């Protein structure tokens, strides 16, 4: 049963090669055992998981099965799932059992998918290495001494180690794509507004977007079909005609104009990554695509703009964690203000506090114009850069990250170095564009290299097809980490 894609497992389930209960039980056992090494999951809830598998088996015995019926899926612990502990990687929500389902959790349930567990993540999705999690860092299955990336590091590592057939993540500045790249899997951040944010614990509302993480582009298409749907509970949700992504993956890349932004190919990028990405681009040329030089002149400012806007929104979004209604409350306090102070001092980790402080500062009276408004202007310029670039190309490609997986602890004391690992991914969030990462090689340490695809608004189908064409011609996405043999 292991080592298969969602597509393959779905076909096998519908052919009754095995039941969802058998598949789910096998994955539960396998994952729980591996989790001691990888720490990709925060929560397993066998009872709820197996109840769902049983329900899926009933559906599988009828004609109502979908491509996802009976498939175990791991959800980033940022999604509220009814009756599941939902921690967001924080001590603040260590004891929070959600009384409601996020919109996408509801959608997966409707498709008959099974929640395998909740995956580890950087606390409140703030981090690029999974080292900020209250529940310990996730380890990269390719090298247990290295980080899996973040913030969706648990979801990426779980897919890479085949602890789950697929998972969900969220991406505010690269949190799907960067861990996907570092763990050698495929991950997609859709156009802002395509996947409902209802029930996704907010980090930076104008940037947050959920998306799928899987072993292949084809699997991303299957998962995306479940995740994309209009939601009247999210005012930023977009009402669009339904797209059957999985039926469009065979579209050829012949004639596709691939934009190559020179700003994303600087000397600071590791040479192995340069080579891996260049090889991938050559492959695309072989498949009939054309490479076009483009400019994204404002993109060097994207990290700076991001680290004003995201903390500003976060400082406000995280105000609800005050110890009054749910979640952590400090055991001892003298009065109301002391309760707030101690609860938040003890409940939040250092990185979260750093960002709340930055965000509070940039929104403060007298600083708002210089920081927040200025950053919003930069954001508009970045969007305009992309709009301009898409006049001469259909899709943009670049490395996903400037380096492959780094060692645990290597950047933890240098936040700015850590922030720079998202240097190529942030612009897509600021512009709201869809972007993905697919594996395109291994470096000299046998660590995965990620190729980033940035598409125009709502071109998820085109991007997935381009990724699928590449995966049909190459086998980088099939490479397994050494841990797989454990």
Partner 1 sequence: MEWEIVIGIETHVQLSTESKIFSGASTDFGAMPNAHACEVDLALPGVLPVLNKDAVEKAIRFGVATQATINQRSIFARKNYFYPDLPKGYQISQMEIPVVEGGTIKFHVAESEKTVNLTRAHLEEDAGKSLHEDFIDMSGIDLNRAGTPLLEIVSEPEMRSSNEAVEYAKTLHSLVRWIGICDGNMQEGNFRCDANVSVRRKGDKTLGTRREIKNLNSFKFLQQAIEYEARWQIEQIEDGLAIVQATVLFDPDSGETRLMRTKEDAHDYRYFPDPDLLPLVIDDDWLKTTRASLPELPKSKARRYQDDLELSGPDVASLVSSLEAATYFEATLNHFDVSGIKPAAKSIANWMNGELTASLNRSQKDFSQCPISPETLSVLIKRVLDNTLSTKLARLVFEELWSGDSTVDDIILKKGFKQMSDSGEIESFVSQVIEQHPQQVADFKAGKEKALNSLVGQVMKLTKGKANPTQVNEILKSKLS
Pairing of strands 209-214, 290-294: unpaired
Helix axes 20-38, 6-14, angle to 10 degrees: 150
If binding means CB under 8 A, how many residues of this protein chain bind partner 1?
A: 44
Q: Does residue 346 touch partner 1 according to CB under 8 A?
A: no
Coil, strand, or helix at residue 340? helix
278 is a contact residue toward partner 1 (CB under 8 A) = no
Which of 44, 265, 326, 333 forms a contact with partner 1 (CB under 8 A)?
Answer: 326
Identity of the residue, 2 or 368, whose beta carbon is nearer to partner 1 in the bound complex? 368
User: Is the distance from CB of 299 to CB of 385 less than 8 angstroms?
Assistant: yes
Out of 363, 381, 442, 472, the only residue in the binding site for partner 1 (CB under 8 A) is 363
Would you call 247 exposed, middle or buried from its count of C-beta atoms within 10 A (0-12, 13-18, 19+)? Answer: exposed
The catalytic position among 76, 106, 109, 411 is: 76
Q: Does residue number 312 form part of the binding site for partner 1 (CB under 8 A)? A: yes
Which of 365, 369, 416, 475 lies at the binding interface for partner 1 (CB under 8 A)? 365
CA 425 to chain centre: 11
Stretch that binds partner 1, among 226-234, 293-301, 398-406, 447-455 (CB under 8 A): 226-234
Among positions 16, 254, 282, 320, the unique one binding partner 1 when judged by CB under 8 A: 320
Q: Which is nearer to partner 1, 330 or 363 (CB)?
A: 363
Residue from 68, 181, 204, 420 binding partner 1 (CB under 8 A): 204
Span of 182-190, 231-239, 421-429, 478-486 interacting with partner 1 by CB under 8 A: 231-239
Contacting residue, 336, 350, 357, 486, with partner 1 by CB under 8 A = 336
Strand 114-119's sheet: what is its strand order?
Answer: 41-43, 114-119, 72-76, 166-171, 209-214, 186-189, 435-442, 448-455, 395-399, 257-261, 290-294
Tell me: does residue 194 bind partner 1 (CB under 8 A): no
Least Å distance between CB 96 and partner 1?
A: 7
| Annotated active-site residue in 151, 229, 237, 299 | 151
76 assigned to active site: yes
Catalytic residue among 31, 133, 152, 175: 175
Nearest alpha carbon to residue 440 among 430, 427, 429, 449: 449
Residue 18 CA to residue 12 CA, distance in Å, equals 7
DSSP state, residue 82: T
79 DSSP 8-state letter? B
The region that residue 127 occupies, defined by phi over 0 for left and psi between -120 and 50 for alpha, beta otherwise, is left
Note the residues at the interface with partner 1 (CB under 8 A): 79-80, 86, 88, 93, 96, 98-100, 102, 197-202, 204-206, 232-236, 312-313, 315-316, 318-322, 324-326, 336, 340, 360, 363-365, 368, 372
What residues are labeled active site? 76, 151, 175
């Amino acid at each position: 049963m292991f080592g298969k894609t969602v597509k393959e497992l779905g076909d096998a389930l519908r052919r009754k090669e095995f039941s969802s209960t058998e598949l789910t039980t096998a994955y539960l056992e396998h994952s729980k055992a591996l989790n001691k090494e990888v720490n990709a999951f925060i929560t397993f809830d066998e009872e709820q998981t197996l109840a769902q598998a049983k329900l899926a088996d009933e559906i599988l015995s009828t004609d109502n099965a979908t491509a996802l019926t009976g498939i175990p899926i791991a959800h980033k612990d940022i999604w509220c799932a009814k009756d599941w502990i939902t921690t967001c990687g924080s001590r603040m929500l260590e004891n929070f059992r959600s009384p409601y389902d996020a919109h996408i959790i509801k959608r997966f349930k409707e498709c008959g998918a099974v929640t395998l567990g909740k995956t580890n993540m950087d606390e409140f999705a703030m981090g690029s290495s999974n080292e900020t999690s209250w529940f310990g860092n996730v380890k990269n299955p390719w090298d247990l001494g290295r980080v899996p990336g973040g913030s969706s590091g648990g979801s990426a590592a779980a897919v890479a180690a085949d602890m789950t057939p697929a998972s969900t993540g969220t991406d505010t500045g690269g949190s799907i794509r960067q861990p996907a790249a570092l763990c050698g899997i495929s991950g997609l951040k859709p156009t802002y507004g395509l996947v409902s944010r209802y029930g996704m614990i907010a980090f930076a509302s104008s940037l947050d977007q959920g998306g799928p993480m899987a072993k292949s582009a084809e699997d991303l298409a299957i998962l995306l079909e479940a995740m994309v749907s209009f939601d009247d509970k999210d005012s930023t949700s977009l009402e669009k005609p339904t797209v059957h992504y999985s039926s469009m993956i065979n579209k050829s890349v012949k004639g596709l104009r691939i934009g190559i932004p020179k700003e994303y190919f600087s000397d600071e990028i590791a040479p192995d990554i340069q080579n891996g990405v260049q090889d991938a681009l050559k492959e695309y040329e072989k498949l009939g695509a054309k490479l076009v030089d483009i400019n994204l002149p404002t993109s060097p400012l994207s990290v700076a703009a991001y680290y004003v806007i995201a903390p500003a929104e976060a400082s406000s979004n995280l105000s609800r964690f005050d110890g009054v209604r749910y979640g952590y409350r400090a055991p001892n306090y003298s009065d109301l203000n002391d309760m707030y102070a101690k609860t938040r001092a003890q409940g939040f980790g250092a990185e979260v506090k750093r960002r709340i402080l930055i965000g509070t500062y940039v929104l403060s009276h007298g600083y708002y114009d210089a920081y927040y408004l200025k950053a919003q202007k930069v954001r508009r310029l970045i969007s305009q850069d992309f709009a301009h670039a898409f006049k001469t190309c259909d899709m943009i490609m670049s490395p996903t990250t400037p380096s492959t997986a780094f060692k645990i602890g290597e950047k933890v004391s240098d936040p700015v170095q850590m922030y720079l690992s998202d240097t190529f991914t942030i612009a897509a969030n600021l512009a709201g564009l869809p972007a993905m990462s697919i594996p395109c090689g291994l470096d000299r340490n046998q660590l995965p290299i990620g190729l980033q695809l940035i598409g125009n608004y709502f071109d998820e189908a085109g991007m997935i097809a381009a990724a699928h064409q590449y995966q049909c011609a190459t086998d980088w996405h099939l490479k397994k980490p050494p841990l797989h043999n454990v």
